[in-house]
């Protein structure tokens, strides 16, 4: 049975949460006190307590991201210490740990649950003296509070800024759809307001003709939330202390204890290998941008010029402007087309359902296979104030079987920040937005397609962090293929299909300035990973980033750029010492894509295998083993270089 989304009772939320946690603790205490040590009678009821907690708490955490308010903030922040104490108490329970030591699984999935649980108990300090256990609890609580503070500071700073443009010449060339959204009336005159919300910010950075204004909004964006400087120092100190308490030399080693990558050297070597392949290409790309900028009299191209001249260069080199694609990618048609494609690719059906939601623009679908409903998905795709920026998939329910043999369905949220629709204009997407939607859908089906009966390794649960991006990146690769786009790319006014030449330009644009993009991601990944290889504080953080930029940034950012203040992935998300995961997983996704698609043809036998042996298997076995079982070999590490057409620079 699917849970029904409802707005929490903010006034009584903590009281209800504490009651639920006490009920869960009673169940766990009863399991420990009992004599049964059979998997079905012990582990499954234990896992069910986590499902009940997710069903209750996820709506609040979700609302705090998509409909942020004082009410959601207060309830969420008040929950953090309660939850932190609860999870620490469980993860450091030596009696519970001893019970798991005595339990035997009856299949691979059950054995993987036990392996991961025992590992996580140890990583929580279950064997440590009480004094160190208490310190770990204090650290985890403080880190959860700091992560939330970082995120809230960023959201507040994003919402606080506006750039008012009064001169019509300063908005010439900006797409009409973006101008319409920016248009306001001030003192009886039309002006345009640009914000740090991504659709608005990128509209001016990509098309804004006034270089001074581009720098103004760029500076505001890269210096958001300066109070996060101190938050970062405190987060890094606590992570370093936690790692040392648990017996690791530094936090990156602790991070890798739950990932595919074997050690620090493997991660650093992998990223440097990609950098070496990218640098020669990136230098050529930058020279092209410099020549383009010089035509406008810009002698030294700066970071706030890159998006603007990249778009100009793309238009000249490929006769392509991403705005050309907008009329063909009306949001509703794109979503329906994506669902149709996923249906055909994997043999399932999406049916719209009318259920309670948090915003009138949210759309909900049930997933069916062989006339049986097995999952539900919610789409919240448009930007609005008080909604956290970016795009993500958030799981709510997880498919599993309880101790009574009853099956429980899965559900998930897909959240994006596309240009909002109005009464006058529909939401029209750039092709980049289409790629984003495919990406998040890849995450969603990884969770929703699971057929693993054990909750802790079902869907995305238990998947190594450096493999979790694999299914999302796999699906997004299809968003560049004409055979896929033809399913839904039609002009929103005339209904005309996407022209062949425009589809070809989209495909060629995939690797346009790809080396620069690759280096940017490698810079982020190395910064994150090296930042956690020893304790960096105060200006040492900036010096590390500056040194990496010296080697990896063909266009050096201005000295005032404080990218780290907004690096939510590692300071407010789950990517600390793990941002490299995007590229690590992209090797698997590139290799898998080539195995499943070629010359405009989907290899149905391979996609069937991908569904059965990757998506449906969750984390029932480690991803490297699942991958070998599917393709009969390890992933080709050079598949990613091939995907980005960097082969001649190896």
pLDDT at 355: 97
User: If you ran DSSP here, which 8-state letter would residue 564 be given?
Assistant: G
What φ, ψ does residue 647 adopt, rounded to 5°? -65, -35
What is the tally of helices (H) and strands (E) in the chain? 25, 12
The pLDDT assigned to 600 comes to 86
Largest Cα–Cα separation, the chain: 80
**Model pLDDT, residue 650:** 39
- DSSP conformation class of 226: T
d(CA 634, CA 613): 14
Identify the pLDDT of residue 649. 42
Per DSSP, which regions of 152-281 are E strands?
A: 163-165, 183-186, 189-194
565: left (phi over 0), alpha (psi -120 to 50) or beta: alpha
Helix (H) or strand (E) holding 82: helix 70-91
Q: What is the pLDDT of residue 389?
A: 84
- In this prediction the pTM is 0.86
Q: How far apart are CA 532 and CA 93, in angstroms?
A: 28
Catalytic annotation on 276? no
Write down the catalytic residue from 440, 469, 476, 586: 440
Domain architecture of the chain: domains with CATH: 1-125 (1.20.1050.40), 161-222 (no CATH), 327-513+582-649 (1.10.1370.40)
For residue 372, give the 3-state DSSP assignment: strand
Query: What residues form DSSP beta bridges with 192?
Result: 165, 183
What pLDDT was estimated at residue 323? 83
Tokens of 425: 């204009």
* pLDDT given at position 429: 95
Say whether 367 sits in a helix, a strand or coil: strand
Mean pLDDT per 10-residue segment, the chain (650 residues)? 94 97 97 91 97 97 96 95 94 96 96 97 95 95 95 94 96 91 89 94 96 98 97 98 97 96 96 93 95 95 96 91 90 97 96 97 97 97 90 97 95 96 89 96 98 98 94 97 95 96 92 94 97 96 97 95 96 93 94 93 95 98 96 90 73
What are the tokens at 447? 């969770």
Provide the β-strand partners of residue 394: 413
Sign of torsion over alpha carbons 297, 303, 305, 310: positive
The answer to whether the beta carbons of residues 259 and 581 sit under 8 Å apart is yes
- Contact, 596 vs 606, CB < 8 A? yes
DSSP assignment string, 308-361 = HHHHHHHHHHSS--GGGGGGG-BHHHHHHHHHHHHHHHHT-EEEE-----SSTT
Contact 401, 452 (CB under 8 A): no
Using a 10 angstrom Cβ sphere, with 0-12 exposed, 13-18 middle and 19 or more buried, the burial of residue 487 is middle
């Amino acid at each position: 049975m699917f849970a029904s989304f409802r707005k929490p009772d903010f006034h009584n939320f903590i009281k209800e949460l504490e009651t639920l946690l006490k009920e869960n603790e009673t169940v766990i205490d009863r399991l420990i006190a009992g004599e049964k040590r059979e998997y079905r009678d012990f582990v499954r009821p234990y896992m069910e307590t986590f499902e009940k907690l997710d069903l209750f708490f996820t709506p609040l955490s979700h609302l705090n991201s998509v409909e942020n308010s004082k009410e959601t903030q207060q309830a969420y922040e008040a929950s953090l210490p309660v939850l932190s104490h609860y999870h620490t108490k469980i993860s450091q329970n030596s009696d519970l740990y001893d019970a798991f030591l005595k339990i035997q699984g009856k299949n691979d999935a059950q054995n993987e649950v036990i392996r991961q649980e025992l590992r996580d108990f140890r990583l929580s300090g279950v064997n440590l003296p009480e004094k160190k256990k208490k310190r770990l609890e204090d650290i985890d609580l403080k880190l959860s509070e700091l992560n939330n503070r970082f995120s809230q500071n960023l959201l507040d700073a994003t919402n606080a800024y506006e750039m008012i443009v009064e001169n019509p010449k300063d908005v010439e060339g900006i797409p009409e759809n973006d101008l319409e959204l920016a248009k306001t009336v001030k003192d009886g005159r039309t002006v345009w307001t640009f914000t740090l919300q991504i659709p608005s910010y990128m509209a001016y950075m990509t098309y804004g003709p006034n270089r001074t204004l581009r720098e103004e909004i760029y500076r505001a964006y890269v210096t958001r939330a300066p109070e996060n400087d101190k938050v970062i120092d405190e987060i890094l100190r606590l992570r370093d202390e936690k790692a040392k308490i648990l017996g690791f030399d530094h936090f990156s080693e602790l991070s890798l204890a739950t990932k595919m990558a074997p050690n620090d050297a493997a991660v650093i070597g992998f990223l440097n290998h990609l950098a070496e392949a990218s640098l020669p290409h990136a230098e050529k790309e930058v020279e092209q941008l410099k020549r383009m900028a010089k035509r406008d009299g810009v002698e030294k191209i700066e970071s706030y010029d890159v998006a603007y001249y990249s778009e100009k260069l793309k238009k000249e080199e490929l006769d392509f402007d991403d705005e050309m694609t907008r009329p063909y990618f009306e949001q509703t048609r794109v979503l329906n087309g994506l669902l149709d494609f996923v249906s055909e690719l994997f043999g399932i059906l999406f049916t719209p359902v009318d259920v309670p939601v948090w915003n009138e623009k949210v759309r909900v679908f049930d997933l069916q296979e062989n006339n049986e409903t097995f999952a539900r998905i919610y789409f919240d795709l448009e930007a609005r104030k008080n909604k956290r920026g970016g795009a993500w998939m958030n799981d709510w329910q997880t498919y599993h079987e309880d101790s009574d043999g009853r099956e429980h369905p899965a559900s998930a949220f897909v959240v994006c920040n596309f240009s909002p629709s109005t009464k006058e204009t529909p939401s029209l997407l750039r092709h980049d937005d289409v790629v984003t939607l495919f990406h998040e859908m890849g995450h969603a089906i990884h969770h929703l397609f699971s057929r693993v009966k054990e909750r802790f390794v079902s869907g995305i649960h238990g998947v190594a962090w450096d493999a979790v991006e694999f299914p999302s990146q796999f699906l997004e690769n299809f968003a560049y293929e004409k055979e896929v786009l033809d399913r839904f790319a039609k002009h929103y006014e005339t209904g005309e299909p996407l022209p062949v030449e425009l589809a070809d330009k989209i495909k060629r644009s995939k690797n346009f300035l790809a080396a620069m993009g690759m280096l940017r991601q490698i810079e982020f990944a190395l910064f994150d990973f090296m930042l956690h290889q020893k304790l960096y504080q105060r200006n040492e953080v900036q010096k590390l980033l500056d040194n990496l930029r010296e080697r990896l940034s063909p266009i050096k950012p201005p000295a005032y750029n404080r990218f780290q203040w907004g690096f939510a992935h590692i300071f407010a998300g789950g990517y600390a010492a793990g941002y490299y995961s995007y590229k690590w997983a992209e090797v698997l996704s590139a290799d898998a894509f080539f195995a499943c698609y070629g010359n405009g043809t989907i290899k149905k036998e391979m996609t069937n295998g991908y569904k059965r042996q990757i998506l449906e298997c969750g984390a029932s076995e480690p991803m490297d083993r699942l991958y070998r079982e599917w393709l009969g070999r390890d992933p080709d590490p050079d598949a990613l270089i091939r995907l980005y057409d960097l082969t001649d620079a190896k």
